[in-house]
Structure 1
Amino acid sequence: MDKLWGDAAAAVADIGDGASLAVGGFGACGLPIVLLEALRKSGVRDLHVVSNNCGVEDYGLAGLLVDGQLARVTASYIGDNPALTERWLAGEVELELVPQGTLAERLRAGGSGIAGFYTRAGVATPVADGGIPWRYDGSGGVAVASPPRPVMVFDGVPHVLERAVRTDFALVRAAVADTAGNLVFHATARNFNPLAAMAGAVTIVEAEEIIDVGELDPDRVHLPGIFTQRLVVVPAGTPKRIDRLTVQGQQEQLGVYR
């Protein structure tokens, strides 16, 4: 089945207010920036997003955050995004922080039909006991806190229950896709992209190159097309952002585009 769509705006047009999204990327690496920009321009609001982090400065998901389009963020990292911290403490967005490995497994489990799993990560901490502020009331008080989670003992070791993540949509970026939606990711841009793609009920992929079915060596496929519903090609010349570019003998430069 040909899954190619005309452009990013058309591909995200049915993402409505209050939708949940799994978004690939790690820092600025592997972000589906074309799809995110189309979503930002659509004006959709009250989105619930699940991603490793919430973009960088005003790049990626941070753009939607700054525009007030995000209601809830599930992530494992706040750094490099002061706007997320400010809006969380002001009570403008709900934030669930999850250990990074746990977040990856919650996405993978959701895409694999597994309802939940037990892990040692978070045992004997507020992750298991509850009480982590998810939303503040704007006056320094806690409006919503994380609930306690079931703990079971396996082979004498306590484990805490983590629920799988399933979302209405997923937005991911691939290096190469064929028109059936089989995907190849480039190096570290692979990061959370396959996991996010698995977790979405409707997965929308932006690919730097799209080829015909049969041109892609099956041994190169990182994620089979069964997880892909829509494809758009990344426009030529779209820049990629580097989180931190360090050149020998020079000071570190932030936010450099290549």
Structure 2
Amino acid sequence: MNKVVSMEEVLSHIEDGMTLMVGGFMANGSPEKIIDALVEKGVKDLTLICNDAGFIDRGVGKMVATKQFSKIIATHIGLNKEAGRQMNEKETDIELIPQGTLAERIRAGAYGLGGFYTPTGVGTLVAEGKESKIIDGQEYLLEMPIYADVALIYGHKVDEQGNIQYKGSQNNFNNLMAANAKVTIVQAHELVNKGDLDPNFVHTPHIFVDYIVKEEN
């Protein structure tokens, strides 16, 4: 299977109503070219799972501004005033999850775990409607796995098989999301030949990657 595809091929795998995981932390490590293409395509009624809502003019925030999400699951939206406005006006359903809990829910979905217990959120609004359990005298909340149809991630160096090397904090949620979704698409900053990456520095193995689109200069 040739994993290196055109942007047109990438877009063909993303349809209205899907759940998307998009890597990035304040847009750092986000697949900007794919996001731009989705804005142009106008795909809509999506559910977004992301660390944050980006900025109005950068990252997933561009898609927030064009109202392509019916629901956003994130840890914070404070950097994007439009996301806050949509939440306050009830135009978009926004679910805020503690950052560590979100990361672990993605990991649980990726690796087949049935859920996990965490003390984060006990005694707050986060606990509403959730099962709790006392373990060694401390109360914990049961958090369930979360899943996506498509993960859109960003890799600094990617070989033709789909092995990924991230650069610094660009890793953030990308590594977890790559293992979670039914289909994983990576935007490669630099595409290299098979065998060019030192296996000791492969952060996401190719088995998790379905498609690669090269970032144009």
TM-score by length of 2: 0.97
Q: Which runs of 4+ in 1 moved over 3 A?
A: none
Deviations 1:136-166 (A, max 9, x none): xxxxxxxxxxxx1000111111110111111
Matched residue, 2:157:
176
Match of 2:3 in 1: 3
SS at match of 1:194: helix
Q: Which amino acid letter does the alignment assign opposite residue 145 of structure 2?
A: A
Confirm whether residue 101 of structure 1 aligns to residue 82 of structure 2.
no
Q: Which amino acid aligns with 2:170?
A: A
Q: How does 1:12-161 map to 2 (within 5 A)?
A: 12-128=11-127, 130=128, 148-161=129-142
| Alignment deviations for residues 15-54 of structure 1 (CA, whole Å, 9 cap, x no partner) | 1111000110000211111111111111111000100001
Aligned to 1:165: 146
Question: In the alignment, is the contact (CA less than 8 A) between 2:56 and 2:65 conserved in 1?
Answer: no
In the other structure, the counterpart of 2:212 is 231
- What secondary structure sits across from 2:12 in the alignment? coil
The separation in 1 between residues aligned to 2:67 and 2:123, in whole angstroms, is 35
Q: Distance in 2 between matches of 1:58 and 1:14?
A: 24
Q: Distance in 2 between the 1:109 and 1:168 partners?
A: 15
- Deviation at residue 115 of structure 1 after TM alignment: 2.5
Unaligned runs of 5+ in 2: none
When structure 1 is superposed on structure 2, of 13-22 and 57-66 the one drifting more is 57-66
Between the aligned partners of 1:50 and 1:114, the Cα distance in structure 2 is 19
Cα distance in 1 for residues equivalent to 2:110 and 2:162:
16
Q: Secondary structure of the residue that 1:200 maps to in structure 2? A: coil
Corresponding position of 2:195: 214
User: Residue 10 of structure 1 aligns to which amino acid in structure 2?
Assistant: E
Amino acid at match of 1:62: G
- The residue identity in structure 2 corresponding to 1:190 is N
The residue type paired with residue 177 of structure 1 is V
SS of the residue corresponding to residue 105 of structure 1 reads: helix
| Matched AA of 2:27 | A
| Superposition deviation, residue 10 in structure 1 | 2.1
- Secondary structure of the structure 1 residue equivalent to 2:178: helix
Q: Please, what is the CA RMSD of the aligned residues?
A: 1.0
Question: Which residue identity is paired with 1:116?
Answer: G
Which ranges of structure 1 fall in alignment gaps of 5 or more residues?
Answer: 131-147, 237-258
Q: How does 1:184-203 map to 2 (within 5 A)?
A: 184-203=165-184
Is contact 1:150–1:161 with CA below 8 Å preserved after alignment? yes
Amino acid at match of 1:183: I
Provide the C-alpha distance between the structure 2 equivalents of 1:233 and 1:31, rounded to a whole number of angstroms: 14
Residue correspondences, number? 217
State the SS of the aligned residue for 2:30. coil
Q: Tell which structure's C-alpha radius of gyration is larger.
A: 1
